[in-house]
Amino acid sequence: MIKVLHVTYDMRIGGTEMVIKNIIDGNSDRSIAMSIFCIEEPLGPWGEELRKAGTDISTAHRQPGFDTSLIKSLKRHIEHYDIDVVHCHQYTPWVYGTLASLFTKAKVIFTEHGRFYPDSTSWKRQLVNPVLMRATKKATAISHATKDALEEYEFIPKARIDVIYNGIKSLQVDNTIKAITKSELAIPEESIVLGTIARFDPIKNQEMMIKAFSAALKENQNLILVLVGDGEMRPTLEALVQKEGIEDHVRFTGYIKDPSHHLAIMDIFLLSSLSEGTSMTLLEAMSLSKPCIVTDAGGNSEIVEHQQTGLVTENANQKAFTSAINTLCSSPMSLKEMGANGYRVFCEKFNATNMVAQYAHLYREITGR
């Protein structure tokens, strides 16, 4: 039996947490047992869900600054439960997980799930990270862009980093509820629906998306933009919509726990981020055969094949984003073909089964079992 402990911040709703949840939910190998250690509280809804399903989850309350007591608590946990693999998700959990694993039998994996924008480093990391890597068996990144950033900003040799793309289960949508959703949003049947699902945060650059959409309306008035989410930028985005005079063409839904039916009504999925790792909603869109328009940020261009499964535009380039919208909206055949291609690529590269199998192989490789 290989005992794997996932060390993370918490299990609230987010991309990193979805990866952990999918690894655990998708694990059908009885020789691998998984548990979670969260270094922060509260646990979060996905943590509660996994706990109810039988996953062992422990939490700690990380103190401000460098919390040495957390290292001791995590080390006791690793030794008490005879953990074989400590899988650390993101940088801070890696620091604590690695230090706690010293002088135990546990092997450490560090997975980087994304980068801040703009990216940066520090002299401390230049000194500390090579030392941490000596005690780490393997690092993984969710895209080649993330792998490059680990080498440039974290001083981790590329040879030590494997790329394992995020994977999800294909979404299943009830067509009846899909029709109800469209009706509730007062979307005319003949409209072309564009949309996104993301927190309203400067890094997602929805301001550029709205301006690009507004410009596209000058060529085609038959467009509707659906913005699913909430966040600090919502008042700014709502004010921008009013300033552009496009209120009749934009729908703000607010936060929705399960937005799958909103994604299903979109003819084109938009992602305008300044920085991305591997966007889960982008993968969900492809699983529903949605063509995508994305900025060339992070791993976006590794997921969307330009002119095959969607269009990739220069980062933060409003005119290019508008042009991409006009191009796809003027070609129903392209919409259909790119959507079908996207679904094929999703099944080949980005489904949860592939991701789970790759991590399982890694666990066996570093433990020799």
Residues near 210 by Cβ (< 8 Å), separated by ≥ 6?
Answer: 225, 237, 240, 241, 244, 246, 250
pLDDT of residue 313: 98
pLDDT tens series, the chain, 369 aa: 999 999 999 999 888 999 999 999 999 999 999 999 999 999 999 999 999 999 999 999 999 999 999 999 999 999 999 999 999 999 999 999 999 999 999 999 999 998 887 888 899 999 999 999 999 999 999 999 999 999 999 999 999 999 999 999 999 888 888 888 999 999 998 999 999 999 999 999 999 999 999 999 999 999 999 999 999 999 999 999 999 999 999 999 999 988 999 999 999 999 999 988 889 999 999 999 999 999 999 889 999 999 999 999 999 999 999 999 999 999 999 999 999 999 999 999 999 999 999 999 999 999 999
Burial of 243 (0-12, 13-18, 19+ CB in 10 A): exposed
Identical fold, 2-167+352-367 and 175-350: yes
- Give the domain 2-167+352-367 fold: Rossmann fold (3.40.50)
Buried/exposed 10-19: b ≥16 CB within 10 Å, e otherwise: bbbebbbbbb
DSSP state of 81: T
- The tokens describing 102, both together, are 């010293």
pLDDT of residue 229: 94
Indicate the DSSP class of residue 349.
Answer: I
**Residue 117's pLDDT is what?**
79
**Predicted confidence (pLDDT) per residue in 262-297, tens digit:** 999 999 999 999 988 889 999 999 999 999 999 999
User: Is residue 329 a contact partner of residue 212, using CB atoms and an 8 Å limit?
Assistant: no
Hey, where are the domains in the chain? Answer: 2-167+352-367, 175-350
Return the pLDDT at 257: 84
**Nearest of 200, 197, 305, 312 to residue 258 by alpha carbon:** 197
pTM of the model: 0.89
> What pLDDT, on a 0 to 100 scale, did the predictor assign at position 291?
97
Distance CA 50, CA 52 (A): 5
Query: Could you tell me the two tokens for 250?
Result: 């934009």
CA distance linking residue 271 with residue 229, whole number of Å? 13
pLDDT at position 15 is 87
Q: Please say whether the structural domain 175-350 has been given the CATH code 3.40.50.2000.
A: yes
